[in-house]
Amino acid sequence: YFNFAVDSFVDAAHAVGWNVSPVHLRIVLPFGISFFTFETMSYTIDVYRREIPPAKRYLDYLLFVCFFPHLVAGPIVRPHQMLPQLAKKPEASDAHKAEGLFLIATGLMKKIMIGDTLAVNLVGRVFDNPERYSSFEILVAVYGYAIEIYADFSGYTDVAIGSAKLFGYELPKNFDLPYISQSLQEFWRRWHISLSTWLRDYLYIPLGGNRGSQAKTYRNLMLTMLLGGLWHGASRNFVIWGGLHGAGLAVNRYWSRRGGEKERDAAPSPLMRFVYTFATFHFVCFCCIFFRAPTFAHATLMLLRMGRLTFATTNLGPLAIAALALGFVTHFLPPRTHPTLRQRFVELPAVLQGAVLAACAYALHFAAGAKAQPFVYGQF
């Protein structure tokens, strides 16, 4: 963040004709430092507010912060969710272990078969060199990144939750089919739930939340999302991403107060549900351009080239299209599909469970590329 502030100052100085040389700090940050920071802050704040008692043992506190399944990319675990579990002996039943193995297997399949395939065969190529691609190919790549980041991040979360279950611990749910959301407010109730609730409880509400005038509420939404963008990294693109979501939430809230949401909830037709979901998904995709693009120049170039409305499909390989289609289909299945499959796996005999897991392992071996792709949120 120091280097980001310095670079911003230098750019402003150059804009007014000052010749200023930047001075950068060269340090190596710990892996997953943002998740460390949020969890230690939540503990300190909750103890200060007297919402929880301090941990009875220092080792309990260390395990709360350093519990390895969620260490790299969440979910962000709050002290009231984890410390009571650490105070008693963990118990992992056979059903919990089976559920954990199912989550690990399906999480890895989402990550490798969908997320990594899209990252290598479509998203990385287009976002890094948008000048080589048509408007349609860039649009497909934007859709691809929306599916990639969901498959990658929710896949990691599934692995984390499943691993914790093997040890007898429960981690909070972090995703709930976010792309079926009919509004941006609903999206943030379904996407990275542990982050959105953290920002709500420790930033938005202390700023005043929705108390006071509407102008202050919109200000609080904007500040919360701007800081949420900065949490992802010290970059102009992340600030823009946060600002877009803040503005979108403010508009969504204004529209809701005007009665639009009340009318929609009263008798939503299938057509209007589709329209709201379509609009929300495409707004999120638009914001994803700034989130994924290496630089602001790349993002603006992508938007400019999309505006030319050129059509070509020569660079869209069948593997990428298959992964994109698989991602959309699995995401937009009926909401009860995923829990039902998990429960049926748990109820299978141990031999059949092993056969299913072996088939998953074979599929993962077949789908894995020569070069492993890091988890997207491992960088934050």
Report DSSP letters for 184-240, one per residue.
HHHHHHHSSHHHHHHHIIIIIHHHTTT-S-HHHHHHHHHHHHHHHHHHH-SSHHHHH
Please name which of 167, 40, 147, 94 lies closest in space to residue 347, comparing C-alpha atoms. 94
Q: Could you report how far apart the first and last alpha carbons of the chain are, in Å?
A: 13
Q: Which residues contact 6 (CB under 8 A, 6 or more apart)?
A: 22, 23, 24
Whether 232 is a known active-site residue: answer yes
For residue 33, CA distances in Å to 135, 204, 213, 239, 260 come to: 37, 22, 36, 19, 41
Structure tokens that stand for 118 in this block? 């899209």
Structure tokens that stand for 152 in this block? 């990658």
**Residue 111 C-alpha from the chain's centroid:** 13
Structure tokens that stand for 158 in this block? 């599934």
**Dihedral sign (CA 310, 316, 318, 324):** negative
Structure tokens that stand for 183 in this block? 């509004």
Please give the biggest Cα pair distance in the chain.
74
Structure tokens that stand for 375 in this block? 């988890």
Are the C-beta atoms of residues 245 and 287 closer than 8 Å to each other? yes
70, 96, 232, 298: the catalytic one is 232
What amino acid is encoded at 339 in this protein? P
Known catalytic residues are 232
